[in-house]
Amino acid sequence: MDQVLSVLTWALLLSGAFFLVTGALGMVRLPDVFTRMHAAGMADTMGAGLILAGLCLYSGANLVTVRLVLILAFLWFTSPIATHALAKAALSGGTEPYTLGAGTDGEGEGGGAP
């Protein structure tokens, strides 16, 4: 039973880490602020979510788990608001969203080439 639990914990922690790393990679590879926000959203949702789920399994049924769930709930309530504020600020600041048709070499940002 302990074995199964620790394997599950590790699986959740590692897949959470995978989404965090992928989100970070997206910050580098995607072309503009709006598409990068989607990558950051991955780290907020699945990255943090899977890691906290893994920690919940690790700590078992006690108050620590309740607190971990609360952290996740607050994170999932607040992060979309922060993302929305960022998007709105970028739009009203006059940032032109990257589109496929409009040239790929504006402002030194390659069109997502590796």
- Residue numbers at the binding site for other proteins (CB under 8 A): 19, 22-23, 25-26, 29-32, 34-35, 37-39, 41-42, 45-46, 49, 63, 66-67, 70, 76-77, 79-81, 83-84, 87-88, 91, 97-100, 112-114
User: In terms of Cα–Cα distance, which of 61, 26, 66 is closest to 44?
Assistant: 26
Which of residues 10 and 76 has its CB atom nearest to other proteins in the complex? Answer: 76
Which of residues 1 and 60 has its CB atom nearest to other proteins in the complex? Answer: 60
Name residues whose C-beta falls within 8 Å of residue 9's C-beta, 6 or more positions apart in sequence: 54, 55, 57, 58
User: In terms of Cα–Cα distance, which of 91, 106, 98, 80 is closest to 32?
Assistant: 98
Q: How far is the CB of 2 from other proteins (least distance, A)?
A: 25
